[in-house]
Amino acid sequence: MTAPGAGTPDASKSTVAPRTPNLDLDWRVIRAYALFAGGFWRGDGTRRAWGLTITLAICLVLSTTATVALNHWTRWFFDSLEARNAAALWESVLLLLLIIASMAAIGVGIVLTRERLQVHWRAWIVGEVVSRWLAGRRFYHLAQTGTQPANPEYRIADDSRWASEPLVDLGIGLVTAIISAAAFISILWSVGGSYTLTLGGGAFTIPAYMVLLALAYGIIGSLLTMWVGQRLVGYVGRKNEAEGDFRFALMRLRDNAESIAMMGGEQSERRILARIYDTVVQRWLLIVQQHGRLTWITNTIGPMTPLVPLLFAAPKYLRGELTLGEVTQLAAAFAQVQMAISWIVDNFSRIADWYASARRVMDMVDSCDDVDRHHAAGPRGIEIAPSPSEGLVLDGLAVHDPGGRPLVARADLMVPPATSLSISGDTSSGKTAIVRAIAGLWRAGHGTVRIGDKARVMIAPQQGYLPLATLREALVYPADGTPPADEEILVALGSAGLAHLADKLDESGRWDQSLSAGERQRVAVARLLLHRPDVIILDDAMTALDESARADLLAALRETVPDAAILNVGQAPRTLPGVGSALILERRSGGTVLGQEIQSYEPKRSLTVDP
């Protein structure tokens, strides 16, 4: 991940926002997001999506209709007031109550439909991004290749919200603006009429002069605001990037709290956080400065909006060509047209916020697609293929690091069912690379990993993973098919030395924090006892346990899963009971190789090494 504030030599003294690629407004990003997020209306929930959308559109039309009715009521009320017609005034009051009740009911419908649409659309976007991120183990490949966008958890959890919820509100505003503009321009046209201007002894007639005035006033104000505020989009994007970096730094501090506390690193962490947040402050200040420039325009245009139509309608009113009610109706219609025309101006900051989040969501989507294209365009690498026989086979396996340097030169071995193989080696000898190749996570190299066509494979890593769930769910993770009965779970706990946790099966919590390192590794063994896979890979899976505990667990594993092919990898792994062998990874020029066989059991099986 790029360091916060990278690209700015001294963020605290900079007055210009760092130029981060693809943060300014880019229509290609908008089109890509529209194509991606529009899948909500084309997917499995299309009926609900279109139902909510159509209902919302109907409510918006009814809302504009009620607003137009209120505009006509204004004319009627002021004409009745000017005529001192008490009966008409009372009738107008009763009609006003009916209009207000209708507007309230329509407003409730808009709120309920809008918020349901926002919730379901965001849920679809989150589900789609998470599915793409997890599919094909992209989350792992992105992290390993360094191509994963910074703070993916924030992009999925928060940016998905800010890329969907405001867009619904903005869409409602835009549709309302278009409908209102059409409705109230017709009022300006019919009520305002034409205006005759006398200049130099000649008369000039301006048709629909209030319509032209409203359009000119709104367009000029909008163009000025867009011209002044166009840089705001990029500023907001860079500010959001800095905010994400600061959240990530806080998360790392929390996750490494024990190490930091033991080393007494509080002051160093304070300085690091202060430096990162200083970038946030500087980028916020640039937004504040841009908001100030925008305010010059909005605060000049805003107060004039209700006065301009009155000034231009006054001459016709004084000549008796307009009634007081018509003047107030024109002023209200003029204001509605300005609201419609200046919609993009009034929402410029919200559009900038939305675009920044939409771009961050699309970065995640594009990164997932890019890693697939990278794999497809790259060399064939290590293949995972079905084996005609059960068990595990490595056929000419050579493992390279990402730079092409050989880690393991070549390995040919076979671990049939009901047998085991232990591989030992020093640190950085390629043990974990072999395990990753078997898991399909390591592509650099060549050769083939063959596993029985219907064989189930499970790997127990050194750092056992415990999900945010109940202990029961953690034990059966990853769940597939019918969950095991309580009796099976209790037996597995006992065999793994975790009988003291039997009464906590339905408790939820941070098991990765409440359990010791040894207990977490015992949980990994308990999973194997429950799932009973055909091929088991132990990757330094018992390093936190003493020798006797390892022996007991390995014996329990072989007894419970007697037909499994087991590969035990580590710096000094213990040989499992039963039929098996143990090999050592030896360092040679051109990479490590599987070398000396230190223990053998009958019957023999194919095991060759080619340096």
Scan for tokens 């104000």, then name that residue. Answer: 221
In a domain, residue 184? The reply is yes
SS (H, E, C) 251-265: HHHHHCHHHHHHHCC
| CA 527 remoteness from chain centre | 31
Q: Mean per-residue pLDDT for 84-112?
A: 89
Are 310 and 240 found together in one domain? yes
Who's near 290: CB < 8 A, 6+ residues apart?
229, 231, 232, 235
Are 372 and 412 found together in one domain? no
- The helix/strand/coil state of 440 is coil
User: CB pairs under 8 A, 24+ apart, for 350-355?
Assistant: 350/166, 350/169, 350/170, 351/170, 351/233, 352/232, 352/233, 352/235, 352/236, 352/237, 353/162, 353/166, 353/236, 354/162, 354/163, 354/166, 354/167, 354/170, 355/25, 355/29, 355/30, 355/233, 355/236, 355/237
Who's near 461: CB < 8 A, 6+ residues apart?
435, 524, 539, 540, 541
Does position 106 have pLDDT exceeding 70, yes or no? yes
Are 372 and 423 found together in one domain? no
* 319-368 per-position pLDDT tens digit: 888 888 788 878 888 887 877 777 776 777 788 788 888 988 998 999 88
User: Closest Cα partner for 37 from 490, 357, 399?
Assistant: 357
* Domain final position from 376, 395, 415: 376
d(C-alpha 406, C-alpha 314), whole Å: 87
Are 325 and 411 found together in one domain? no
Enclosing domain of residue 342: 27-376
Who's near 130: CB < 8 A, 6+ residues apart?
156
Please, is 564 exposed, middle or buried when counting C-beta atoms within 10 Å of its C-beta (0-12, 13-18, 19+)?
Answer: buried
- What is the pLDDT, as a whole number, of residue 576? 64
In a domain, residue 21? The reply is no
In a domain, residue 14? The reply is no
Q: Classify strands 392-400 and 445-452 as parallel, antiparallel or unpaired.
A: antiparallel
One-letter amino acid for residue 304 of the chain? M
CB 532 within 8 Å of CB 488: no
From the CB of residue 182, how many other CB atoms can be counted at a distance below 10 Å? 12
* 418-429 per-position pLDDT tens digit: 888 888 877 777
In a domain, residue 133? The reply is yes
Who's near 227: CB < 8 A, 6+ residues apart?
none
CB 588 within 8 Å of CB 409: yes
Q: Mean per-residue pLDDT for 30-51?
A: 90
Under the banding of pLDDT at 50, 70 and 90, the label for residue 102 is very high
Are 184 and 323 found together in one domain? yes
Does position 543 have pLDDT exceeding 60, yes or no? yes
Question: ω before 21 within 30° of 0 (cis)?
Answer: no
Are 368 and 512 found together in one domain? no
Are 356 and 394 found together in one domain? no
- What is the pLDDT, as a whole number, of residue 607? 33
d(C-alpha 127, C-alpha 519), whole Å: 33
State phi, psi for 381 to the nearest 5 degrees: 70, -160
- What is the pLDDT, as a whole number, of residue 603? 34
Does position 12 have pLDDT exceeding 60, yes or no? no
* Domain final position from 329, 361, 376: 376
* 218-267 per-position pLDDT tens digit: 788 777 777 777 777 778 778 878 888 888 888 888 878 877 887 788 88
In a domain, residue 92? The reply is yes
User: For the chain, what percent of residues have pLDDT higher than 90?
Assistant: 19
One-letter amino acid for residue 378 of the chain? G
Are 364 and 412 found together in one domain? no
- For the domain that residue 403 is a member of, what is the CATH number? 3.40.50.300
- What is the pLDDT, as a whole number, of residue 310? 81
In a domain, residue 119? The reply is yes
What is the average pLDDT value for the chain, to the nearest integer?
81
CB 145 within 8 Å of CB 371: yes
d(C-alpha 189, C-alpha 207), whole Å: 9
In a domain, residue 22? The reply is no
- What is the pLDDT, as a whole number, of residue 377? 67
* Domain final position from 357, 376, 395: 376
- For the domain that residue 370 is a member of, what is the CATH number? 1.20.1560.10
| CA 455 remoteness from chain centre | 35
In the numeric block, which tokens belong to residue 530? 């429950």
- What is the pLDDT, as a whole number, of residue 602? 38
CB 145 within 8 Å of CB 374: yes
Who's near 404: CB < 8 A, 6+ residues apart?
444
Are 523 and 565 found together in one domain? yes
Residue 24 is classified by DSSP as S
Q: What is the DSSP string of 168-185?
A: HHHHHHHHHHHHHHHHHH
d(C-alpha 99, C-alpha 321), whole Å: 29
In the numeric block, which tokens belong to residue 190? 């019919």
User: Closest Cα partner for 209 from 219, 217, 220, 199?
Assistant: 217
In a domain, residue 350? The reply is yes
Number of domains in the chain: 2
Are 38 and 177 found together in one domain? yes
- What is the pLDDT, as a whole number, of residue 467? 86
* 294-310 per-position pLDDT tens digit: 777 777 777 777 778 88
Are 308 and 413 found together in one domain? no
* 107-137 per-position pLDDT tens digit: 999 999 999 999 999 999 999 999 989 888 8
Are 371 and 396 found together in one domain? no
CB 89 within 8 Å of CB 95: no
